[in-house]
Amino acid sequence: MADYDPYASREVEVPLTVWDAFFSLVKCVIGTGILAMPLAFKFTGVLGGSVLTVLSMFVLIYGMELLIMCMVESCRRKKVPYMTFHETMEFAFEEGPKCCRWFSKAAGYSVDIILGLSHYGVNVVYIVFVAVNLKQFIEEYFAKIDLRILIAIVGICCIPLFLLRHLKYLVPSNILATCLILLGILAIFWYLFRGLPSISERNMFPDLIKIPFALGIVLFSISSVGVMLAIESKMAEPKKYLGWLGVLSVAAILICILYIFFGLIGYWRYGDATEATITLNIPVEEILAQIIKLGIAVAIFLTYPLSGYVTVNIIMDHLKKRDLKNPHMVEYIVRICFVLLTTLNGIAFPNLGPLLSLVGAFSISVLNLIFPCFIELCLYHDSYGKFLWKLWKNILIIIFGSIIFFYGSYTAFVEMIEEYFT
C-alpha cells in the first residue's frame, strides 16, 4: 500500500505545466480581494493589518498543504490516482473512529455544499465589482445608469467565456488578466503615493469590534480553495505544487508581500475615506484613472470562469453519476444557469464590503481550517504522536476556525442587514 504512487498513476486530459499552474494560481488569488485590502487595514490599523495578513497567509499555506497531503495519503490507501475533497472527507470519516463512520456520507456532501457556495459567492462578488467600476466610467462620460442594470449586462456577457470547459483553454485569458491587474495595481500606486499624509495620522492598531469583519475580507482576499485544488489536480507534475519552494508556497509568499504593501499604502493614502474597493477612491474625472478601472474590470471579468469552474465541476460530478446521455450539453446548461443565478444574486445584494467579508468568514474558515483538521484527525486517529500533539493541535485550530466562522459570519451578516434593511 505504501509503495503505491498516486501521482504516477494520475492521467490528466489537458495537463498544466508548472508555469501554467503558477500563473493560474496567482491570478485566482489576486483579484478583487487585493483591491479590498486597504479596507481591511482601515479596520485593523497599519501594524494590525500587516500581522493579520501574515497570519492568514500562514494559515492558508498550512491548511492547503495539510489538505493535499491528506488527499494523497487517502489515494495511497485506496490505490487510486486522485480523490476529490468530497471523496477524501468521506473516506477519512470511514477510516476514523467508530463514532465518525456513521455520518461519513454527510461529511462528504458538506464539503461540496460549502465549497460550491464559496465559489458561487466569489463569482457574485466578481460580477458586482465589474459593474461598479463600469458604472463610474459610464456616468462620468455618458449618462446615469442603475447599478443593477449594469450587473445584468455584465452577467450576460460572462456566458460565452464561461462555456469554455477546460482549464487549459483559460490559461491565455488568465495570463492576460494577470498582466492587466498587475499593471492596474502598479498604476494605482501612482495615485496612492501622490499626496501621502503623515503616517502618524493613521491608526497603528485595530478596532477590536471590526477585527472579525476585517478578517473575513483578508480570508476572502488570499484564498480560493477550490481553484487551488483544481489547479493541483490538473498539473502534469503535481509533486512540484507543495513544499517550501513549491508552486503554492512561492505564489503565497509573493501574494502576501504584495497584499500587505498595497493594503498599507491604500489605507495610508485615504484613511477613513477608504472604500470597499480602492478603485472607487481614485479620481473619476481623470482619463488615466478610468483606464485603470476598465483594465482591472476586464481582468476580473476574465477571472470569472476560473472561479466558477469549481462549483460547476462539483455539480457535474454528481450529475454524471446518473449516466447522462449527453453530459456536455448538460454541463453547458448548468454553466448558463450558474451565470444567471450569480447575476440575480448580485442584483439583489450589490454592496461589496459585507459580501466580501461574509464569503471569506463563512467558507474559508471551514474549508481551510476546520475540514482539513477533521480529515487528519480521522486518518491518523490511531497515531497522534507523542503527547497526542496532533490531536491538541487540530482541536485548537478547529476552535479557532469555528470562532472565525460564527463570529465573522455574524458580523458580516449584521453589516448586510444594516446596509439593506435600515
Domain CATH number, residue 62: 1.10.4160.10
Domain contains 90: yes
- Cα dihedral sign for 371, 375, 376, 382? positive
In a domain, 184, yes or no: yes
Q: In terms of Cα–Cα distance, which of 5, 3, 21, 9 is closest to 247?
A: 21
Q: Which among 70, 64, 66, 65 has a CA at the least distance from the CA of 83?
A: 70
pLDDT in tens, 28-39: 677 677 888 898
Helices (H), 45-170: 46-78, 85-95, 98-101, 104-141, 147-162
Residue type, 364: I
Side chain identity at residue 284, one-letter code:
V
Residue 207 and residue 272: Cα distance in Å, rounded?
12
Predicted confidence (pLDDT) per residue in 92-139, tens digit? 999 888 888 888 889 888 988 888 888 888 888 889 989 988 888 888
Assess if residue 131 is contained within a domain. Answer: yes
Q: State how many domains the chain has.
A: 1
Cα angle for residues 147, 149, 153 (degrees, 5° grid): 115
Q: How far, in whole angstroms, is CA 146 from its chain's centroid? A: 28
In a domain, 39, yes or no: yes
Q: Is residue 264 part of a domain?
A: yes
pLDDT at residue 68, as a whole number? 92
Using an 8 Å Cβ cutoff, are 108 and 87 in contact? yes
Within a domain: residue 1?
A: no
Please give the residue range of the domain that contains residue 76: 6-421
In a domain, 50, yes or no: yes
All 3 cell numbers of residue 410? 455574524
pTM over 0.85: no
CA 179/CA 160 separation, integer angstroms: 22
Q: Tens digit of pLDDT for each residue in 262-296?
A: 899 999 998 888 887 888 888 877 888 888 888 88
Residue 327 lies in a domain: yes
For 322, other C-beta atoms within 10 Å of its C-beta total 9
- Which of the residues in the chain have pLDDT under 70? 1-2, 27-28, 31, 167, 226, 419-422
Write the pLDDT tens digit of every residue in 399-422: 988 888 888 778 777 777 776 665
